[in-house]
């Protein structure tokens, strides 16, 4: 279990904070807006009303003890930057920050934020990729063109083996696991017989997956 602090409980910050809680982490939420702090007080480990541009108020939160501090302030660029400068001076080990403009990104990068997130652009790209491959339930990009994708086997896959379906892609696409009604088979061999609605996790280069994934649905 890691300790996270989320500064700014707007739409982005609150969604991150609640998801981290669901994953079993400890989360502190901070915002100037008492309505937001009260709204999430019961759902987070700790929720505090504070102006994070106020160095002393921020210092009192003891954020240097947290694994990661996420600065989820976008619109108020000055607050976002001043907060990060303070966090740096307290020696917070890892800072992630949301940016909504190029200028904000440039300055955050200069101050030395560990990761800068552009929620709208990043989500836009993800949605476009999902729209182009509607058969893919979800995916992870591993870099260098490698992907892990999740697909659901369609009804016509019933009884067919992995070899029958992947054919030429058998060497390029690896089936990492198959999930069937709560039962997981790790690295099923080419003779593994599929059922309709099986969940398959595939690994491979984008080009090979592009050919293989549509055959499964």
Task: List residues binding ligand ADP (CB under 6 A).
Answer: 8-13, 30-33, 36, 51-53, 73-76, 79
User: Closest approach of Cβ 75 to ligand ADP, in Å?
Assistant: 4
User: Closest approach of Cβ 34 to ligand ADP, in Å?
Assistant: 10
State how far the Cα of 107 lies from the Cα of 121, in Å rounded to an integer. Answer: 18
52 or 201: CB nearest ligand ADP: 52
CA angle 29, 33, 34 (to 5 degrees): 85
| Token reading at 178 | 């198959």
33 or 38: CB nearest ligand ADP: 33
16 or 178: CB nearest ligand ADP: 16
User: Closest approach of Cβ 3 to ligand ADP, in Å?
Assistant: 19
33 or 193: CB nearest ligand ADP: 33
| Token reading at 69 | 């501090």
State how far the Cα of 165 lies from the Cα of 187, in Å rounded to an integer. Answer: 16
State how far the Cα of 82 lies from the Cα of 80, in Å rounded to an integer. Answer: 6
Q: Which residue has the closest beta carbon to ligand ADP? A: 10
Q: What is the CA radius of gyration of the chain?
A: 22
8 or 204: CB nearest ligand ADP: 8
Q: Is 62 helix (H, G, I), strand (E, B) or coil?
A: coil
User: Closest approach of Cβ 149 to ligand ADP, in Å?
Assistant: 29
User: Closest approach of Cβ 24 to ligand ADP, in Å?
Assistant: 23
| DSSP β-bridge partners for residue 174 | 203
Q: Any idea what DSSP says for residue 43?
A: T
């Amino acid at each position: 279990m890691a300790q996270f602090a989320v500064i700014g409980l707007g739409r982005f910050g609150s969604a991150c904070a609640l998801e981290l809680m669901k994953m079993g982490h400890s989360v502190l939420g901070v915002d100037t807006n008492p309505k937001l702090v009260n709204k999430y007080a019961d759902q987070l480990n700790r929720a505090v009303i504070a102006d994070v541009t106020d160095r002393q108020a921020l210092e009192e939160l003891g954020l240097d003890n947290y694994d990661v501090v996420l600065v989820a302030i976008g619109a108020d660029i000055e607050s976002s930057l001043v907060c990060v400068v303070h966090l740096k001076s307290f020696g917070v080990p890892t800072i992630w920050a949301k940016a909504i403009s190029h200028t904000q990104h440039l300055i955050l990068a200069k101050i030395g934020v560990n990761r800068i997130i552009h929620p709208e652009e990043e989500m836009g790209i993800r949605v476009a990729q999902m729209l182009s491959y509607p058969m893919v339930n979800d995916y992870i990009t591993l870099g260098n063109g490698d992907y892990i994708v999740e697909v659901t086997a369609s009804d016509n896959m019933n009884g067919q083996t992995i070899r029958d379906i992947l054919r030429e892609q058998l060497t390029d696409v690896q089936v990492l696991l198959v999930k069937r009604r709560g039962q997981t088979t790790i690295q099923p061999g080419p003779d593994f017989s599929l059922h309709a609605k099986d969940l398959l996790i595939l690994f491979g280069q984008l080009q090979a997956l592009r050919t293989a994934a549509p055959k499964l649905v």
